[in-house]
Amino acid sequence: MRCRVALAALALIAMMALTTTPVVDAAPMWGASGHYITAAIAQGLLTPAARQGCSKLLPWVQGRIDQIASWADSSARFKYPWSAQLHYADTPDWLCNYQQPRDCIGGKDGKPMACVDGAIQNYTRQIGDTRLTDTARADALMFLVHFVGDIHQPLHVGFTSDQGGNTLVGSFCGHKSRKLHQVWDGDIIDKRIKEDFGGSNTTYLQYYMKELAKGGKFYPSIPQWSAPCYSKVSEPHGACSVEWAQEGIKLACSTAYTDERGQRITNGFDLGESYYRFAMPAIESQLARGGIRLATVLNSIFAGAHAEQAGLEQTEPQQDARRRKRGVDYLATE
């Protein structure tokens, strides 16, 4: 059912793409272009209830989640400095697997679930909690949009020793002093957009719409990408972040940390056109699946919220004040 709903909404993406303002500036995580593409794909797949829910929580952008996709890399860093640790999860070098109890910890005190996986779980729940203030739910929505993008960048579930490729420095297509993490965050995507799509994110988005439609290369994968979670861990609303993290580290091992010749990438690397052509298909697949999955999660969240009049009921004053004070604390529990 979810797949049929998603496919029926593809026409909305094409219409939306024609009026989308391109985003070309870079961001420190999965670059602004990558986050924009993932969120824009999801935007066009939202159900009416989800669009209404997003519009209610994000009225200053008319509910357009593609317009706030990089918020967590900018404004949130100042408003919520503790959120920096929520963009990633580090795993032991070359084990090529993700284990939540071992890898989803953060801070000097090793707080459990303080990583991108835990953040996705927490904010998925908060968006659908209509007892929270709209301000708290809006922040949770903006965090979720961003973190679903982050977890689909393989080096956000990279190795502990090199901080997800951030301490591996070399050259990429003639550009020196590039971190491997930067190459995957934005360099490869930006090169693709500049060389093949005239520097336009909007034109690049239209390419994804074509490839997601029937007959496109991504079309056969949509049922798998929107399938229910298989993990034994409780993952609400189809936010299968444990599985997504597992996918990420496997891809990091096979494609991000390994070059086109099958050699492990080390400090001082010199990656060129052949590596670009090797890595690009994996990156584009990740952007597409991230968009499908984000739409699946948001549609499920707001289907539940719609059943409660989309959160229009007023909360009790004391309860509301307590939750407003709590804000979007990523470890908050009832």
Q: What percent of the chain has pLDDT over 90?
A: 76
Band of pLDDT at residue 306, cut at 50, 70 and 90: low
Per-residue model confidence (pLDDT) at position 232: 72
Q: What percent of the chain has pLDDT over 70?
A: 82
**CA distances (Å), origin 55, targets 49, 89, 285:** 10, 31, 28
Average pLDDT, the chain: 86
Helix H segments across 171-272? Answer: 180-182, 188-196, 201-212, 222-225, 241-251
Band of pLDDT at residue 106, cut at 50, 70 and 90: confident
For 129, residues 6+ apart whose C-beta sits below 8 A from its C-beta are 137
**Encoded tokens for 330:** 């990523």
Which of the two residues, 334 and 280, has the higher pLDDT score?
280
**Inter-residue contact 148 to 297 (CB < 8 Å):** yes
**Inter-residue contact 86 to 115 (CB < 8 Å):** yes
Residue 282 reports pLDDT greater than 50 = yes
Per-residue model confidence (pLDDT) at position 30: 56
Per-residue model confidence (pLDDT) at position 278: 98
Per-residue model confidence (pLDDT) at position 235: 84
**Inter-residue contact 288 to 218 (CB < 8 Å):** yes
How much is the average pLDDT of 240-254?
97
Dihedral, CA atoms, 37, 39, 45, 48, nearest 10 degrees? -150
- What residue type is 275 in one-letter code? Y
Which of the two residues, 57 and 315, has the higher pLDDT score?
57
Residue 309 reports pLDDT greater than 80 = no
**Closest-CA residue to 39 (of 53, 57, 54):** 54
Cα–Cα dist 87/145, whole Å: 12
Residue 22 reports pLDDT greater than 70 = no
Band of pLDDT at residue 78, cut at 50, 70 and 90: confident
Band of pLDDT at residue 150, cut at 50, 70 and 90: very high
91: left (phi over 0), alpha (psi -120 to 50) or beta: beta
Per-residue model confidence (pLDDT) at position 307: 55
Per-residue model confidence (pLDDT) at position 224: 94
Cα–Cα dist 96/158, whole Å: 9
Residue 1 reports pLDDT greater than 50 = no
CATH of 2-313, one of 3.10.20.30, 3.30.2290.10, 2.60.40.10, 1.10.575.10: 1.10.575.10
List the end-to-end C-alpha distance of the chain, in Å, as a whole number. 33
How much is the average pLDDT of 295-301?
97
